[in-house]
């Protein structure tokens, strides 16, 4: 969902869905655009989870996992849903899967983000840097962001964040496939990536406990309809 310059009415409507902890955290932001982005991301998450589970969006509460990744609670008990949210300047998004205990990760970034391609060797595996080097020079910044969002989606799904060595796994991009360990594709993980209108790239990935397929449906939300 794009979050440009929302009206006071829109922000007030979104803020009405948040609990007291979220409201207190939102009020600590110095700049209004960051506060509005936080409020929008959490309101969108509540709406998306409410739609998936057929419950009031205001009913959700959150519990932090081992690495700080939140899980969803209803009436104090873990809910049968997994999610992960992401936001960048001017945009927010969330991935939701109606399965308890699933690893779900989502990341979104602006395609025009300034990147230093010289750091690719630090963050990417040789297979990824070779793919990046094979692109036309003008496409390499976009290629960097494609790889970055995929890797972010994976470490957010596992909950490890940057505590995980980013060279311990790598991605193919066409089609998108994750490789771990000996380099064989990981069939239990399912990733998709989209370049969105407005100049953003997003990546979503999931692994269910059952190991079944994870069909993905992408929906762009009008802020006025949230």
pLDDT score of 217 more than 70:
yes
The Cα 19–Cα 59 span in angstroms is 9
- 157-190 burial code (b ≥16 CB/10 A, e <16): bbbeeeeeebeebbbeeeebbbbeeeeeeeeebb
106-154, pLDDT tens digit by residue?
999 998 888 888 888 888 999 999 999 999 999 999 999 999 999 999 9
- pLDDT of amino acid 10: 87
- pLDDT of amino acid 209: 64
pTM score of the predicted model = 0.91
Q: Which two tokens stand for residue 39?
A: 């409020």
Q: Which two tokens stand for residue 38?
A: 């936080």
Rounded to 5°, the CA angle 117-197-85 comes to: 75
The domains of the chain, with CATH numbers, are: 1-102 (3.90.470.20), 104-207 (3.90.470.20)
- pLDDT of amino acid 185: 66
- pLDDT of amino acid 49: 95
Mean pLDDT in residue range 31-60: 93
149-191, pLDDT tens digit by residue?
999 999 999 988 777 888 889 999 988 999 987 666 677 899 9
Tell me the percentage of the chain whose pLDDT exceeds 90.
59
Bridge partner residues of 106 (DSSP): 204
Q: Which two tokens stand for residue 170?
A: 């790598």
Mean pLDDT in residue range 86-102: 89
Residue 123 φ then ψ, to 5°: -105, -25
Mean pLDDT of the chain: 89
Bridge partner residues of 107 (DSSP): 203
- pLDDT of amino acid 131: 95
46-55, pLDDT tens digit by residue?
999 999 999 9
């Amino acid at each position: 969902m794009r979050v440009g310059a929302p009206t006071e009415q829109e922000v007030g409507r979104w803020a009405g869905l948040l609990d007291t902890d979220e409201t207190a955290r939102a009020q600590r932001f110095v700049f209004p655009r960051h506060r509005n982005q936080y409020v929008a991301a959490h309101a969108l998450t509540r709406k998306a989870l409410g739609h998936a589970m057929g419950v009031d969006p205001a009913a959700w509460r959150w519990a932090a996992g081992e690495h700080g990744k939140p899980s969803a609670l209803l009436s104090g008990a873990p809910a049968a849903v997994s999610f992960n949210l992401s936001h960048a300047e001017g945009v927010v998004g969330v991935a939701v899967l109606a399965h308890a205990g699933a690893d779900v990760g989502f990341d979104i970034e602006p395609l025009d983000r300034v990147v230093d391609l010289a750091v690719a060797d630090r963050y990417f595996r040789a297979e990824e840097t070779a793919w990046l080097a094979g692109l036309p020079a003008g496409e390499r910044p976009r290629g960097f962001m494609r790889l970055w969002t995929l890797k972010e989606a994976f470490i957010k799904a596992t909950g490890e964040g940057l505590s995980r060595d980013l060279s311990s796994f790598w991605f193919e991009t066409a089609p998108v496939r994750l490789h771990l360990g000996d380099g064989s594709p990981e069939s239990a993980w399912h990733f998709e990536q989209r370049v969105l209108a407005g100049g953003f790239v997003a990546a979503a990935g999931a692994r269910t406990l059952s190991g079944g397929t994870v069909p993905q449906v992408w929906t762009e939300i009008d802020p006025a309809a949230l």
